[in-house]
Structure 1
Amino acid sequence: MSAASIESISEFLLHAGTNFRVLDLGRGLDELDTQTFLEIEGAQMPAPKPRQQHAWFAIVFWNTQAATQHYIWFLKLPLDERGLVVSASRNHFLQIIIDALGSSLADDTENAQTLPDNPYSFVPPQRLMAQTNAKIKQMLSLPASSGFDLAKNYIQAPGVQDWQQIPVQGIADLAYQLDGELGDTVADRFSALAPAFRDALMESCEVVPVSESLFRAFESVLYTPDGLNLSALRGLALPVRDTRVCSVIDDVLQYDGLDIDTLSVLAARHFTQLDAQRIKLFFEQAARVDEVTRMQGALFQGFFADLVQVPALRSQVLGVLRDDARSSRLSSAIGALFSQTQQVK
């Protein structure tokens, strides 16, 4: 196998004798069909959920002749100003893996799990790693981790099972099992669960649509005497526009204690709820926090650069630039944005 004969990561994996599935990790955890991934990596369509000017993927693969062991590549590819994968970077990654592995992937899959040092692989944080593993198990009908039983036992008998013995992976696996009776049990006993366990479970649910009863349970702990519970805000995330979530976001955007972390959660997990009006208010708040924290425009510019690359939001984000009714604070932030852009050029 040579670099000249292989034109995509998808083609490499197929020629190397593997089956594979792809997850988009940009703003959630979404499976991509093989054709969509091929078009994204080939710069034929923009990355649907980019983050920090990159497309983020988890590629799980296994030997077609021995499907008992699965391996994952975590991969981030830089995007151009149109949100398209930079082809030169994708080709560079291809060259790296072909030089290192040749055509031996199917025969030596375990060694293929560890790629040579390269600028495109990344190690996800513990929570995202656990969420990805849980999603893959669901996709491929694999058994949950042993920690799942510990988490389930704790839910059913909080006074018996020690929640501190439950691993993060067990809680992530639990999040994918809450669409039935177990979810109702969690909602009914939510107030009896340890706050730290509740937070970990809500964070795991940020990539899983939850039932109405769980939604209300999470919402009940959103506001605390110490401020917003960002774990609850994460847990309320949904992949599509939802009137319940929109109502929550409207309240949060008016919250006096809005800070960088809250804005980050809104941008990363609730972007699907951001219509033109909410985007404008989001940037108003970003400009305010930027002033308060004396970040000299860096916070506002970072959020703008991030959200303008999301295809579903691009027109609304650009619309903020043309809005004559914006505040003087927002106008100043936009002026600084243009000034910074010209300096970079």
Structure 2
Amino acid sequence: MSQAPDPTIHTLSEFLLHAGTNFQFFDLGRGVHPLDTQLFLDLENGLRPCPRPRQQHAWFAIVFWSEGQKPNHYIWFVKFPIDERGLLVAAARNHFLQIIVDALGQSLGEEKHDTLPDNPYSFVPTQSQMALFSAVTKSCLSLPFNDGVKEVEHYVNAPAISDWRKLSVQSIADFAQTLRDETTCHTVAQNMALYHEDFTRILLESAEAVSLPTAFKQHCAQYCADTFSSSPALALAALRALSSEQADTISQTLLNTLLDSKHADIHVLSVIAGRHYGQLSGHRLIQFFERAAALDEDESMEGKLFAGFFSDLVQLPCLRAEVLGVLRSTERSEVLARAFGHLFSQTQKK
């Protein structure tokens, strides 16, 4: 028999408060972003659109713990559908809340924390996503990093006498959190050519969640431009390292170059849409759609590639008005006009 929830509990935030836990929310839609408790409550109550939706869903991690000498931290990874306005579908959240109450009751005993039953809202991050999330969580909650961070530091400082193969993905991701420090970044930039490509790729991908010093951002931008022909995977990793939701001149200059080049394939466009959406405004947004439309025609995708990027970016609250404004832009080329025509013809057929 289902246990009736407390009539005063209407949200996950209230449930966690009622259970006597401390908690921290993270947005995992596009990268890993800590969320203010009030903001998450506003999202739950449909007062604000979800800021970083992906695939018509909002993706969250909920970390919670009870006070103690050595508190255990527990994690739920959940995704909820959003409506056409970008608001969380309350019925889905309510369903998940009922599942929790049925399975755990209205208190969170130590043995129950991580034993959620199967449900349609939970998801399992990839290994790289989990490593990045774990690193950001430790930094955010002032928890100790992986023991292997010291070994990563040794390799960073002296790659010729250290074995990168002994380094775990988690240790590298944890070390990337130290790239806020200018001295550390200077060492990485100096020695980057000596690192194994796999190490460099993981380190740069993990740096996407860090606010990097300006000098290191400039190094990453140059490294990205220089390596696209010889090592596209490293160039993409450097592009991810420059991720920023705020307007950033270094990133914008790089994007201008990439979007006008043959290097802007589907992988580059995906990283730009997923991590550099904050740089897409005005002419640069038109550049992006121009390239998506041209690539769609070149690859004979019959409008699917363009439609995918359009539907992805139009969901973002920070871009929705500008994306819709591109429809009326006088800067549109013939290829972009054809792409929009195809998009609307397909929409009308549905």
CA distance in 2, matches of 1:74, 1:286: 32
The equivalent of 1:293 in structure 2 is: 299
Counterpart contact for 1:24–1:32, Cα < 8 Å: yes
Name the CA shift for 1:18/1:67 in 2 (closer, same or farther; >3 Å).
farther
**Equivalent pairs, count:** 342
Alignment of 1:203-222 (within 5 A): 203-222=205-224
The equivalent of 2:230 in structure 1 is: 226
What's the CA shift for 1:183? 2.2
CA distance in 1, matches of 2:304, 2:31: 25
Cα distance per residue 1:127-163 (max 9 Å; x no partner): 1111111111111111100121121111121112211
What's the CA shift for 1:4? 5.5
Percent identity, please. Answer: 49
Cα distance per residue 1:39-60 (max 9 Å; x no partner): 1122110011112211111110
Residue 3 of structure 1 aligns to a residue in which SS?
coil
The equivalent of 1:131 in structure 2 is: 132
Structure 2 counterpart of 1:194, one-letter code:
H
Where structure 2 has 5 or more consecutive residues not aligned to the other structure, the ranges are none
Question: Given the alignment, which residue of 298, 303, 312 partners 2:309?
Answer: 303
Counterpart contact for 1:190–1:217, Cα < 8 Å: no
The equivalent of 1:116 in structure 2 is: 117
> RMSD between aligned alpha carbons?
1.6
The equivalent of 2:260 in structure 1 is: 254
Counterpart contact for 2:217–2:242, Cα < 8 Å: yes
Residue 28 of structure 1 aligns to a residue in which SS?
coil
The equivalent of 1:267 in structure 2 is: 273
Cα distance per residue 1:92-145 (max 9 Å; x no partner): 11111111111241x23x432132111111111111111111111111111100
Name the CA shift for 1:213/1:187 in 2 (closer, same or farther; >3 Å).
farther
The equivalent of 1:192 in structure 2 is: 194
The equivalent of 2:34 in structure 1 is: 31
The equivalent of 1:43 in structure 2 is: 46
Q: Which range is displaced more, 240-249 or 214-223?
A: 214-223
Residue 243 of structure 2 aligns to a residue in which SS?
coil
Name the CA shift for 1:227/1:252 in 2 (closer, same or farther; >3 Å).
farther
Where structure 1 has 5 or more consecutive residues not aligned to the other structure, the ranges are none
What's the CA shift for 1:335? 1.5
Q: TM-score, normalised by structure 2?
A: 0.93
The equivalent of 2:93 in structure 1 is: 90
Residue 27 of structure 1 aligns to a residue in which SS?
coil
Structure 2 counterpart of 1:103, one-letter code:
Q
What's the CA shift for 1:257? 2.8
Counterpart contact for 2:51–2:316, Cα < 8 Å: yes
Name the CA shift for 1:176/1:276 in 2 (closer, same or farther; >3 Å).
same
Residue 178 of structure 2 aligns to a residue in which SS?
coil
What's the CA shift for 1:243? 0.8
CA distance in 1, matches of 2:76, 2:20: 16
CA distance in 1, matches of 2:281, 2:175: 32
Alignment of 1:61-210 (within 5 A): 61-65=64-68, 68-105=71-108, 107-108=109-110, 110-180=111-181, 181-210=183-212
Counterpart contact for 2:28–2:61, Cα < 8 Å: yes
CA distance in 2, matches of 1:92, 1:341: 31
What's the CA shift for 1:301? 1.0
Cα distance per residue 1:219-277 (max 9 Å; x no partner): 23213233642111111222311111110010010111321111100000111111121
Residue 75 of structure 1 aligns to a residue in which SS?
strand
The equivalent of 2:324 in structure 1 is: 318
What's the CA shift for 1:164? 1.2
Counterpart contact for 1:155–1:186, Cα < 8 Å: yes
CA distance in 2, matches of 1:310, 1:207: 19
CA distance in 2, matches of 1:149, 1:194: 18
Residue 159 of structure 1 aligns to a residue in which SS?
helix
What's the CA shift for 1:217? 2.8
What's the CA shift for 1:66? 6.2
Counterpart contact for 1:252–1:258, Cα < 8 Å: yes
Counterpart contact for 1:209–1:239, Cα < 8 Å: no
What's the CA shift for 1:302? 1.1
Q: Which range is displaced more, 175-184 or 220-229?
A: 220-229
